[in-house]
């Protein structure tokens, strides 16, 4: 019975794997059918009353729309607005003119700025934009895309202003302020080594580290230390952003300090990409939406006089009718999506965008991303049905039979989820609750294995067909997916093994 319950409960997930990999079905269709499968199984096999199934689906949809989809649309709107006003071109020029050494540029653009874009927008921008800049500077597109894909594995947990980790808190019932320190701790080692791996990939071997160990170590520490401290003591919304800002400042200073150092020909940029000088005012205008987002999020999070009254503007409602079921809380002002929208509109005005232009960009963002919104709604609805009906519990019951060895494969589950969905957020929704429940059954810390899930999700994104397609599209080389996948796979395996060992052994050392 345990095995049968497990197999039937896994049907929506098995369907997703089959539909997305074998049938090549679009994600929004596959996820919609997965939700439908769960909605049929819940009353037929798990005897959940049909009104309860509908309520679980509604709870998932509402939870997906606010705050998950809200912050995604807000982040993508900010990015699209900077494209519309030309600010992103100014940002690219500022970054491209810093150094002639490609190894330094890959640290500034691919590592620091890539993590900044992941923290602000996510959803492929952290691969597409850095890869596009670096290839425009004359560097090998295959090495560049592989380097950007691999290094984007780790900031995913805190990407899009913390959406994956916040979502993980929603589906597991664990406070994001408890999850965030666990994420910071479990990812620390891979974060520390990633810039070294990036330089090796970009430079075609370990030889690329010659003369670069110091600045690469600086890139690692100047990001990881503030990212770690922010994740530990502030929360999941700002670690990527704060770490990236400090890291960019540190790397730009070091790059300028060694601007006259000779550069090996194979690492030299073929074009500066800097057609005109930008004034301080130009620089401020270009970065203004991002500066305001950082300020607003910091103030709304850390200043009690602002945080407390804004947080009080909320509505709590119980959607699922079962006694003792948790309520959904809608924070109407003090939520990242709303704050990002406010910052983006003010930034747009600073960049001289009219209200009409911003309205047009917002409409375009909504229209072009409706499939993403629909997909997330279906995934969260599916997860809520599985959770409330007992399907997730039955999956967990079988996995718990692995006992104390389960943490070794816990990150691998996240890797598989991201390979299937292409999304850290969707992976957290699919498997986060199951990981936390299994942790409870085997006597492990649910927050720790939930953190392992989101770490695995980031690693899995490097081999996700969606991520690879975004990278290739950014450099105008579609159709090379299999070649990129074969190059990235060994790094995915390496990171997955390290992640499993960290997940298994770190709690032993900490206790």
The span from the CA of 54 to the CA of 65, in Å, is 17
Higher pLDDT, 145 or 136: 145
- Averaged pLDDT, 200-206: 93
pLDDT score at 477: 77
User: Which distant-in-sequence residues (6+ apart) come within 8 Å of 448 by Cβ?
Assistant: 182, 186, 407, 439, 503, 507
pLDDT score at 511: 66
Confidence of residue 342 (pLDDT cuts 50, 70, 90): very high
Higher pLDDT, 92 or 183: 183
- Averaged pLDDT, 419-444: 88
Token pair recorded at residue 20: 């997305």
- Averaged pLDDT, 104-124: 88
Encode pLDDT of 139-172 as tens digits.
Answer: 889 999 999 999 998 999 999 889 899 999 988 9
- Averaged pLDDT, 416-435: 86
> Which residues of 177-283 form beta strands (DSSP E)?
none
CA angle 400, 404, 405 (to 5 degrees): 90
Encode pLDDT of 250-302 as tens digits.
Answer: 999 999 888 778 888 888 876 544 455 678 898 999 999 989 988 998 888 87
State the angle between helix axes of 424-442 and 370-389 in degrees (0 to 180), rounded to the nearest 10: 20
CA angle 208, 116, 495 (to 5 degrees): 55
pLDDT score at 131: 86
pLDDT > 70 fraction of the chain, expressed in percent and rounded: 98
Per the listing, tokens 């970065």 go with 287
Encode pLDDT of 346-381 as tens digits.
Answer: 999 999 999 999 999 999 999 988 988 898 899 889
Is the pLDDT at 417 greater than 80? The verdict is yes
- Averaged pLDDT, 15-26: 84
CA angle 175, 442, 447 (to 5 degrees): 15
pLDDT score at 275: 52
Per the listing, tokens 């960009």 go with 361
Is the pLDDT at 507 greater than 80? The verdict is yes
Residue 482 burial by Cβ neighbours in a 10 Å radius (0-12, 13-18, 19+): exposed
Contact 112, 223 (CB under 8 A): yes
- C-alpha distances (whole Å) from 8 to each of 13, 36, 167 are 10, 14, 25
Higher pLDDT, 477 or 291: 291
pLDDT score at 273: 45
Encode pLDDT of 283-293 as tens digits.
Answer: 999 999 989 98
pLDDT score at 277: 67
| pLDDT averaged over every residue in the chain | 90
Is the pLDDT at 124 greater than 80? The verdict is no
DSSP 66: I
Encode pLDDT of 25-66 as tens digits.
Answer: 888 898 899 999 999 999 999 999 999 999 999 999 998 898
CA angle 174, 179, 185 (to 5 degrees): 155
User: Which distant-in-sequence residues (6+ apart) come within 8 Å of 213 by Cβ?
Assistant: none
pLDDT > 90 fraction of the chain, expressed in percent and rounded: 58
pLDDT score at 369: 86
pLDDT score at 274: 46
Is the pLDDT at 315 greater than 90? The verdict is yes
Domains in the chain: boundaries: 2-268+281-510
- C-alpha distances (whole Å) from 117 to each of 50, 114, 136, 166, 245 are 43, 5, 18, 18, 11
């Amino acid at each position: 019975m345990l095995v049968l319950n497990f197999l039937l409960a896994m049907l929506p997930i098995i369907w997703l794997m089959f539909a997305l990999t074998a049938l090549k079905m679009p994600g929004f269709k596959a996820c919609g059918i997965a939700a439908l499968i769960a909605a049929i199984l819940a009353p037929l096999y798990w005897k959940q009353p049909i009104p309860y199934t509908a309520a679980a689906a509604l709870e998932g949809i509402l939870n997906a729309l606010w705050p998950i989809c809200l912050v995604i649309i807000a982040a993508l709107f900010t990015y699209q607005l900077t494209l519309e006003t030309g600010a992103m071109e100014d940002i690219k020029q500022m970054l491209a003119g810093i150094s002639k050494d490609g190894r330094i540029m890959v640290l500034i653009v691919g590592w620091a700025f890539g993590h900044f874009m992941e923290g602000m927008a996510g959803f492929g921008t952290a691969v597409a934009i850095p890869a596009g800049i670096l290839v425009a500077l004359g560097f090998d597109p295959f090495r560049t895309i592989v380097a950007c894909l691999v290094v984007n594995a780790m900031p995913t947990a805190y990407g899009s202003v913390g959406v994956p980790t916040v979502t993980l808190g929603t589906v597991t019932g664990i406070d994001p302020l408890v999850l965030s320190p666990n994420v910071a701790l479990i990812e620390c080692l891979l974060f520390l080594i990633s810039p070294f791996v990036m330089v090796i990939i970009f430079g075609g071997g370990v030889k690329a580290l010659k003369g670069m160990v110091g600045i690469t170590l600086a890139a690692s520490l100047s990001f990881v230390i503030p990212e770690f401290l922010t994740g530990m003591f502030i929360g999941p919304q700002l670690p990527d952003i704060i770490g990236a800002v400090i890291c960019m400042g540190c790397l730009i200073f070091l790059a300028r300090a060694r601007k006259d150092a000779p550069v090996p020909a194979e690492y030299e940029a073929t074009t500066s990409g800097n057609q005109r000088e930008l004034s301080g005012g130009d620089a401020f205008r270009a970065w203004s939406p991002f500066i305001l987002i950082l300020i607003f999020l910091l103030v709304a999070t850390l200043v009690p006089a602002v945080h407390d009254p804004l947080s009080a503007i909320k509505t709590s409602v119980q959607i699922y009718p079962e006694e003792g079921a948790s309520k959904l809380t809608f924070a109407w002002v003090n939520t990242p999506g709303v704050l990002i929208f406010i910052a983006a509109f003010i930034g747009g005005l600073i960049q001289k965008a009219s209200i009409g232009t911003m309205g047009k960009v917002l409409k375009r963002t909504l229209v072009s991303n409706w499939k993403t919104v629909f997909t997330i709604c279906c995934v969260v609805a599916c997860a809520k049905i599985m959770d409330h009906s007992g399907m997730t519990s039955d999956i967990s019951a079988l996995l718990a039979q692995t006992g104390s060895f389960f943490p070794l494969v816990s990150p691998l589950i996240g890797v598989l989820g991201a390979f299937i969905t292409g999304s850290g957020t969707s992976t957290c929704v699919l498997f986060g609750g199951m990981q936390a429940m299994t942790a409870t059954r085997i006597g492990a810390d649910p927050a720790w294995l939930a953190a392992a899930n989101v770490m695995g999700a980031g690693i899995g994104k490097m081999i996700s067909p969606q991520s690879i397609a975004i990278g290739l599209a950014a450099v105008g080389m579609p159709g090379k997916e299999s070649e990129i996948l074969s190059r990235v796979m060994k790094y995915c395996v390496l990171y997955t093994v390290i992640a499993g060992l960290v997940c298994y052994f770190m709690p032993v050392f900490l206790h």
